[in-house]
Structure 1
């Protein structure tokens, strides 16, 4: 097992790793829309989702992987009415990936730091 960490993604807000690689799998901890340069949550739903995917890209890069390696996405969202907007951003993020990852989206009451969305990723080499 190997911890993956990069300064290009935010420092975890709790006692966990940005990501862990084990047996060819990369497990990226739930990411919220924190800008790693400021350490602050970005404002706005769309902006948070975009920032999350930037953070995911940074972690993937540190692990030597790409979007094409993502096999499972779990999304937690505080306002399920934003599902369509989420899908538009998500579709754009994965537009160049031929096989889209499996996914689940779960509506939740609240998230850390009052984030509107949190995304967890599993990737494979």
Structure 2
């Protein structure tokens, strides 16, 4: 099966992992957060952090030749589950009529309010 590492310039890489991989008909995007292209955390409201995080996901998908409407699964980590409604409102705006499957959990995130990983199907 063909595997291609997606250009890390598409989004910041802050650890020992591939930001995204294209494997066969799928693109796997590692957990992204509210990080600017220089690798700096951009702290803000939950809404602004979700938007920046999903922009990072979108950039990695685009580098792999995929779109947000091809995302089939996301796992979302919230520092505070009380932010769910605000998170969900921004999240919905990034996807089409068919939402990807999703798991959302509260997690002990340090210095950020949100982290999201994604899987997209780019096959026929």
Q: Residue 85 of structure 1 corresponds to which residue in structure 2?
A: 86
> Where do 5+ consecutive residues of structure 2 fail to align?
none
Counterparts of 1:30 and 1:41, CA distance in 2: 14
1:31 and 2:26 correspond: no
**What displacement does 1:120 show?**
0.4
Cα offsets for 1:15-66 (capped at 9, x unmatched):
0011011121111000011011x32111212221111111111111111111
Counterparts of 2:34 and 2:88, CA distance in 1: 16
Q: Residue 41 of structure 2 corresponds to which residue in structure 1?
A: 41
After TM superposition, the score normalised by the length of structure 1 is 0.89
> Where do 5+ consecutive residues of structure 1 fail to align?
none
After TM superposition, the score normalised by the length of structure 2 is 0.90
CA RMSD across the alignment? 1.2
Contact kept? 1:6, 1:62, Cα under 8 Å: no
**What displacement does 1:8 show?**
3.3
Aligned residues: 119
1:124 and 2:121 correspond: yes
Q: Secondary structure at the match of 2:93?
A: helix
Counterparts of 2:97 and 2:113, CA distance in 1: 28
Matches within 5 A, 1:27-106: 27-36=28-37, 38-44=38-44, 45-94=46-95, 97-106=96-105
Contact kept? 1:5, 1:17, Cα under 8 Å: no
Counterparts of 2:11 and 2:25, CA distance in 1: 21
